[in-house]
Structure 1
């Protein structure tokens, strides 16, 4: 029984991510937890920490949240009726990241699936600030679904790696669990800096290959490209349905997404982005 957390702000953007989740796991027994955190902007984090319960003035927010969650649950059951799926709702006065971490602990969440907003106007932003913050602060496999993406089964999966991680079950199993119910090929992409692989990298590559021995997979190596360029160029050749990365604190992943120059990267995804932390939160 998969346990999947679906944060929502009741936007079409979050609905798109919910529909992705329902279709991705349509053949599996799942419990979906719809989470809405209501903490108006006037309430700062410090206030939330010292105030155990919302006061009467927040009742209107609570009632609206509960009402919208029930409407959303009904919409899911009507448009994607599935006897394998059950839906629970969570409405709480808290910040999003804090509550997501609470739910991971309390419910042993397997995946988080949430929407992302694209760049708007002159600002070059990879994802909405909420999504970036969750990617940084939450230790659970997360699939971020662009607001413009219409569901496609993940037939072609792109997995960029520098082979700088000693791969463990917890790193790869979340991906294998997805590919097990979908006809999928995993494309492992390495950007060669011209020095070849070290013994450590070679061992990690062989370990990765052993994990994928029962899956369809291909190794790819490119030179004279940045990771961003390699990903973009690969997508020109292959219709990729899912981008997968391990979020290792000292890997190129962090350099790619979490530096202060994030608004200058100009790197945008139009496919779902599956991020697996190398250190999972306790379940």
Structure 2
């Protein structure tokens, strides 16, 4: 049974992300936790007070959570889908971290909005903070993402990290879930070969994929001066539906997601991104 967490601010964007994930996991047994976090100041409790808040505190948000929860439950006909609503007060990241531990969350799903979906820096928004500060796999759904089952998955990598069991298992689960083709893509500058560590990691990944997915994967080596531009073009040309990356390789992740000059998201704004943690 997979446990999935949906932090929501009741926006259409967060609702789209939830709908995308429920469709993605339509045939898998899942516990879906729908979480809304308000500031502690809205709870009706003073920081030094032991007085319980009145039951009517923040009633509009409770109504929104109830309405959102009721809508979400109509999206699934799978009897093995279970929905739990959570309303907490405090710091968003702290609450998400605690929920991940308490509920044994396997995946967090969040929406990103427009071309500035992660705001001004990888550390400067809710999605970016969850990505870098919560050790849990994160699926980010852009507001323009098409609601469909992925058939082409890209895995951009610079081969600088070792592919642990948890990373490979998460990739395998997504392949099994979607029956998609996996496209491993590496971009290096012309005339710059892979070093020994990169070659070892590449060989390990190749052997793993050949053993399990011989006919449903491909390896692509691209030569380009700008890694980000090459990956973006690859996503377009190959009609990629989902991109998978590894959080451990944060420098590579940030290089692809952000233009270092204007510091705004520059990756595809319609393709979901799954970031894996070990």
Please give the TM-score of this superposition, normalised by the length of structure 1: 0.85
Deviates more, 1:132-141 or 1:250-259: 250-259
- When residues 201 and 179 of structure 1 are mapped into structure 2, their CA distance, relative to the original with a 3 A threshold, is same
C-alpha deviation, 1:153, in angstroms: 1.0
Q: For 1:186 and 1:175, how far apart are their aligned partners in 2?
A: 9
Aligned counterparts, 1:187-198, within 5 A: 187-193=183-189, 194-198=191-195
Deviates more, 1:27-36 or 1:96-105: 96-105
| Aligned-residue RMSD, C-alpha | 2.9
Partner of 2:159 in structure 1? 163
Partner of 2:68 in structure 1? 72
Aligned counterpart for 1:177 among listed residues 158, 173, 176: 173
Q: CA contact under 8 A between 1:160 and 1:245: conserved in structure 2?
A: yes
Partner of 1:202 in structure 2? 199
Is structure 2 residue 119 aligned with structure 1 residue 99? no
C-alpha deviation, 1:162, in angstroms: 0.6
Deviates more, 1:171-180 or 1:87-96: 171-180
The one-character-per-residue Cα deviations of 1:10-53 (angstroms, maximum 9, x if unpaired) are: 1110110010111010010000000000117x78xxxx9x6687
- When residues 10 and 4 of structure 1 are mapped into structure 2, their CA distance, relative to the original with a 3 A threshold, is same
The one-character-per-residue Cα deviations of 1:117-152 (angstroms, maximum 9, x if unpaired) are: 1136xx988898211121121111100001121212
The one-character-per-residue Cα deviations of 1:84-122 (angstroms, maximum 9, x if unpaired) are: 2000011000122111110111111110111111136xx
- When residues 219 and 156 of structure 1 are mapped into structure 2, their CA distance, relative to the original with a 3 A threshold, is same
Listed as ranges, the gaps of 5+ residues in structure 2 are none
Is structure 2 residue 107 aligned with structure 1 residue 111? yes
Listed as ranges, the gaps of 5+ residues in structure 1 are none
Partner of 1:222 in structure 2? 222
Q: For 1:199 and 1:78, how far apart are their aligned partners in 2?
A: 52
Please give the TM-score of this superposition, normalised by the length of structure 2: 0.86
Q: For 1:161 and 1:65, how far apart are their aligned partners in 2?
A: 41
SS in 2 for 1:263: coil
Q: For 2:208 and 2:180, how far apart are their aligned partners in 1?
A: 15
Q: CA contact under 8 A between 2:145 and 2:271: conserved in structure 1?
A: yes
C-alpha deviation, 1:227, in angstroms: 2.1
